[in-house]
Amino acid sequence: MRYAHIIGWGKYLPQRVMTNDDLARMVDTSDGWIRERTGIRTRHIAADHETTASMSIAAARAALDRAGVSPSELDLIIVATATPDHIFPATACLVQDALGAAHAGAFDLSAACSGFVYALSMAADRIRAGNANTALVIGAETLSRIINWNDRSTCVLFGDGAGAVVLQGSDQPGGVLSTLLRADGSGSDLLIVPAGGCKLPLTLEVLTRQLHTLHMNGREVYRFASRVLDRAAREVMHKAGWTSDQVDLFVPHQANLRIIESAARALNIPMEKVFCNIEHYGNTSAASIPIALAEAAESGRLRVRDRVIIVGFGAGLTWAAAAIEWSEPQAVSRSRWVLRRMSYGLAGVRSRARRLLRRLEDRLFGSGDPPPTTLIPKNGAAQGERHSTPSVSEPSQAEAQAR
Ligand code: UT7
């Protein structure tokens, strides 16, 4: 029988920190209100050059380093995100290219704040079924780009960041032992970015009405979260054959400290066994659980064979949980670390060579038809000016920096 173990973890938080007092200078709010109602003190905000892909790449490299796994060993990359770099291609493909993961399939998974747990479950199932051996699962968000910074009911809640884990197959029992995935689309309007998809494409009116930003009915989402969190945790515990007093660490999605505390009470798990870092990062949606796992492991709060419960909940509505037996860390050799660092440099060369080859092939064997055009402006070009397709495949500034 195959098991899917977590053998590496990593995180990335942008440098810029925004405090509650900073927000109080922007909207009608206060440090007291935010701390009392949510538990948040600060959040990290991406710099202009940072994107979900660039933060994913940084977290992924840290996780691969920790696991002692080189990108060429990856069979699968999943990026759980509600804020991808583009509608398509998938952010996971940008990560695959930057890492030089030549043998990996790559896709994004859209399940909002539950996304990381959904993605972990998908990857673990593929490993247990024998269809993959090594997978990279990332949760990453640049929520600051879809926030309405004039809406005090949402702008105080969210932050940016990325977390990643490496999963690997083994015959040794442990790892991801049970999972649960659920959805209730009847609540799809409770937490939504209304525009930017095919239903409501971007227009001047849409932008003026801020329909491209996040809208939330906080009270309803709070009620939903309080209903599902402890039940989902109980169900995966039961499937794994554990009782709540056998759980060593409970890692819920970091949306609101009050929701976390009431779930812990309902589960009869003392707060010492609950991991909370919402104070520092706010709600980072799909990134919150992998960031928390990485911090818990780094700080020694997660030890070998510890029993961990993770639960995500959010837009969709979606919720998801997993019971994990924490695995033995890999012994990482210095020489493999150096080789891996070199492989990241080579990944950039490989990517540029493949782009060049594609252009050469187009010149030599192309149809001779004029190239298709795009409205995406290249750096420095006037808005609305038309360009030939090769300009679109140039790496963005953030992707180039991540390399
Ligand atoms: O990750 C996805 C899942 N998301 C969540 O789980 C979020 C769930 N919801 C929540 O965490 C909470 O509902 C919030 C933190 C969003 C709001 O807390 P609340 O205790 O439910 O506040 P409320 O919405 O009931 O608002 C209470 C009052 C209102 O004023 P009135 O109508 O009582 O006069 C709001 O206008 O607080 C006011 N308010 C604020 N005041 C100062 C709302 N936002 C703010 C603010 N600063 N930022």
Q: How far apart are CA 71 and CA 336, in angstroms?
A: 12
> Quick one: pLDDT band at residue 403, thresholds 50, 70, 90?
very low
Give tens-digit pLDDT for 373-402.
555 554 433 333 333 333 334 444 444 444
Give tens-digit pLDDT for 168-186.
999 999 999 999 999 999 9
Task: Give the number of residues written for the chain.
Answer: 403
**Residue 113 annotated among the catalytic residues of the structure:** yes
Chosen domain end from 325, 350, 381: 325
**Residue 253 annotated among the catalytic residues of the structure:** yes
Same-domain pairing of 39 and 145: yes
Report whether pLDDT(72) > 90.
Answer: yes
Query: Got the DSSP string for 239-274?
Result: HHT--GGG-SEEEE--S-HHHHHHHHHHHT--GGGB
- pLDDT at position 368 is 57
Same-domain pairing of 66 and 87: yes
Same-domain pairing of 266 and 210: yes
Give tens-digit pLDDT for 310-359.
999 999 999 999 999 999 777 777 788 888 888 888 999 999 999 999 99
Q: Identify the domain containing residue 90 by its residue range.
A: 3-325
Same-domain pairing of 38 and 174: yes
Q: How far apart are CA 232 and CA 112, in angstroms?
A: 17
Same-domain pairing of 270 and 230: yes
Same-domain pairing of 302 and 339: no
Tokens, residue 398: 């953030």
Pocket test for ligand 1, best of 141, 219, 311 (most atoms within 8 A of CB): 219
Same-domain pairing of 281 and 339: no
Q: How far apart are CA 267 and CA 305, in angstroms?
A: 21
Residues 6+ apart with CB under 8 A from 332: 65, 66, 67, 68
Catalytic annotation, pick one of 20, 155, 212, 283: 283
Same-domain pairing of 219 and 365: no
- Using CA atoms, how far residue 110 sits from 100, 123, 167, 195, 286, in Å, is 24, 15, 20, 16, 9
Q: How far apart are CA 318 and CA 183, in angstroms?
A: 4
Residues paired with 79 in a beta bridge: 108, 138
Same-domain pairing of 290 and 372: no
Tokens, residue 336: 């493999």
Same-domain pairing of 366 and 263: no
User: What is the residue whose two structure tokens read 């080189």?
Assistant: 70
The pTM of the full predicted model, rounded to 2 decimals, is 0.91
> Quick one: pLDDT band at residue 371, thresholds 50, 70, 90?
low
Same-domain pairing of 265 and 391: no
> Are 288 and 113 spatial neighbours (Cβ–Cβ below 8 Å)?
yes
In terms of DSSP H, where are the helices of 107-217?
Answer: 115-128, 152-155, 204-208
In the chain, the number of structural domains is 2
- CATH for 14: 3.40.47.10
The average pLDDT across 204-226 equals 97
- Using CA atoms, how far residue 386 sits from 67, 352, 369, 383, 393, in Å, is 45, 23, 17, 9, 15
Tokens, residue 102: 């030549």
Which residue ranges have their beta carbon within 6 Å of ligand 1? 29, 33, 37-38, 113, 152-153, 156, 191, 218-219, 221-222, 225, 255-256, 259, 283, 285, 314
Kindly report the protein residue whose alpha carbon is nearest to atom 18 of ligand 1: 37
Chosen domain end from 270, 298, 325: 325
In terms of DSSP H, where are the helices of 129-287?
Answer: 152-155, 204-208, 218-240, 257-267, 278-281
User: What is the residue whose two structure tokens read 């709010």?
Assistant: 29
Q: How far apart are CA 366 and CA 231, in angstroms?
A: 58
- pLDDT at position 365 is 86
Give tens-digit pLDDT for 187-203.
999 999 999 999 999 99
Chosen domain end from 269, 301, 325: 325
Q: How far apart are CA 128 and CA 215, in angstroms?
A: 38
Residues 6+ apart with CB under 8 A from 345: 403
Give tens-digit pLDDT for 90-146.
999 999 999 999 999 999 999 999 999 999 999 999 999 999 999 999 999 999 999
Q: How far apart are CA 346 and CA 98, in angstroms?
A: 9
Q: How far apart are CA 307 and CA 175, in angstroms?
A: 9
Instruction: State the distance from the centre of ligand 1 to the C-alpha of 317, rounded, in angstroms.
Output: 19
Instruction: State the distance from the centre of ligand 1 to the C-alpha of 157, rounded, in angstroms.
Output: 9
Same-domain pairing of 308 and 164: yes
Report whether pLDDT(366) > 90.
Answer: no
